[in-house]
Amino acid sequence: MAWIKLKSGWKINTSTLIRFEIRKGIPKLIIHEKFENSIKWILRFTAFVGIATSIITIDKWYFSLLLSIIIFLVEQFFETTTFEFTTFYFSKIPSFNHNSEEWFTNGFLIPVGSHENIAFWGPTFKTKEYAIQVFDYFIDCIGSNQDVDDKIKITLIIDEKFYYTLISYYPDEKKLIAGFNEMENELKYEKKGKIQQKFLGVYLYSKRNLKSENLQYLLNYLNDNPNYIFLPSILENNKPVFLFEHQIKKTKINIKNMNEISRKDKEYHFLKKYIKENYK
């Protein structure tokens, strides 16, 4: 199993580190193991306060009782804290270096006025070598050039002037569960008593393009026929030259309008800044 060191400077949502949950009607603190020492010091301080107050005479008995109850509740609350440890499962990582400047636009070869023929479309790259590397990676993820199980997720997000193409690979559920279980088993002695916090790392390709007549042809075609060929092309003399030997047969695609994207959608996290600026 490969372990990857994450670079510093990543922004982390604090709700993934500290949160409260109600379990069987009782509030419970769920906290990341990085704060384990802080909780230990809180418990030590609480114990010290309890000892100190036991030797201090408080005139009013009910004040003494109230303080004792508060100390008891604080101790109980933190003693039942559940600690989590984080594991990352990364979907298949490409063996080549990612270069966002290589994806220039999208190429389309779409039957107009008839749906007897199938549509061909996909990213247009600047160099043939990079185009082949990307689609060989997709085909390797699928296991063949027929993506009947929709392992390569393709989403078109339509905006007023632009459209976004998002391409990603998500491992199947059984493989994902097996991967997390393997990591949990390897760490069961080191992380005894802690629960596993699971994160999935996905390699995402994305491109923003101006809306075009070709895009509308594709959308019209897909409304009547979900089958299409997804393949790369390279630009020669301002025209896409398709690399048919690296094609992938697809039967599914996600098409969404930008104003319909919500926090529940995976695409929201990629487009969050743009959505907040333009769809308040």
Residue 219, burial from CB neighbour count under 10 angstroms (0-12, 13-18, 19+): middle
pLDDT of 76 higher than 70: no
The two structure tokens encoding residue 76:
């109980």
The two structure tokens encoding residue 132:
């082949």
d(CA 151, CA 154): 9
Question: Which run of H or E residues covers position 36?
Answer: helix 36-54
DSSP lists the bridge partners of residue 28 as 21
The pLDDT assigned to 269 comes to: 78
Q: Cβ distance 132 to 246 under 8 Å?
A: yes
Question: Which run of H or E residues covers position 152?
Answer: strand 152-158
- Angle, helices 61-79 vs 36-54, to 10°: value is 160
The two structure tokens encoding residue 220:
């019209």
Proportion of the chain in helix, strand, coil states, percent, rounded to 5: 40, 30, 30
226 pLDDT tier (thresholds 50, 70, 90): confident
d(CA 151, CA 249): 12
Q: Cβ distance 266 to 165 under 8 Å?
A: no
Q: How far apart are the first and last CA of the chain?
A: 43
Of the segments 52-56, 124-128, 224-228, which one has the largest average pLDDT value?
124-128
The pLDDT assigned to 123 comes to: 93
* Overall pTM surpassing 0.75 (yes/no): no
pLDDT tens-place string over residues 90-99:
777 788 888 8
Instruction: For the chain, give every domain's residue range.
Output: 14-80, 92-171+203-278
d(CA 106, CA 124): 5
Pick the more confident residue, 183 or 254.
254
191 pLDDT tier (thresholds 50, 70, 90): low
Report the chain's C-alpha Rg in angstroms: 27
d(CA 279, CA 272): 10
pLDDT tens-place string over residues 22-59:
667 766 667 766 776 776 777 677 667 666 666 565 56
The two structure tokens encoding residue 25:
């009607």
